[in-house]
Structure 1
């Protein structure tokens, strides 16, 4: 006696299919399928092959062992629901620069094998775009308890060299230079790149466009700490005050 009946019952459970729906998939009668599941009848070899092929399950496994739910979910094919497949397709793997690999990144930033071995963040972003994650490790982009702090994570989108001059002045970027990774505000004048920190005691960095190995425009930020509760309210009040001043000046 084979395990075929128990296994197709288990498949139906994983796939949430009624006996009728499962039977219609393979041009079977509901009563015939019920007989298979109860062990009162054995299927034809053609039926076994068709079901095994549809769910990408080895015929030997389907017939000779009782399959568990966990094992069924490991098989490829149509066992995973369409919703599960959709979720997998939406998440992009983003290589992340952290303290432990930052020095190596300066040497191997353009090596595909090195990039593949980097730790990754999985986020529901467009997989056709090229992103890079970076863990902040200094206070250069902080000012008066605002801005970016160590352990915050930023996500940057790759900027081709020909697009550098199209970036707005003041854009937050991660730049790869010969011997350093720099997270700063970008200002471009002629063939010079000026990188400015938010911290008032940090001097700006100037480089030529040719010295820039890579540039990533920061488009997402994940804060390691919650901002102070009053910070958002303070910013809104300042904005409203400025807007009121504009209205008064026009009256």
Structure 2
């Protein structure tokens, strides 16, 4: 006996292919009718692709990829073949990799660091990783405070749990930014 989990069509709406198809259509502004015409299917068929209720045949995948200027790999996995190794090694999404590439090609003003310089400095700094770990913990604290039951809130009715955790998160982020500015040679006046 095999343990197979069958997904119904509603579960496939957020699968990689339909999500990427919807994103590409929205980004380029092409309508369902127009894309259906380009790949020679009925608009209803394209709707099934967009909603994850059906998968296109390989020849239709190639036409969709060509139309949007992406690879079939990207349509099916969310990662282009050019970025596959980087994605595997670092766990970065296609969007993250492309944004990093874009930041590297951004021009800078005379003598000023580029976006890539700042990103490189952050990623080379152990404090940044500690900041991210602590940030995740503090965001979870805000979410817990937001989801507290009335019974728990009644224990200290005058205390604003949610407000406190949001304030603490804001102060934490502000302190990290201030420290980064100081590291980069910009002194912040004390209040």
Give the TM-score, by structure 1 length.
Answer: 0.26
Q: Considering fraction of residues, name the structure with more helix.
A: 2
Bigger Rg over Cα: 1
TM-score of the superposition, structure 2-length normalised?
A: 0.34
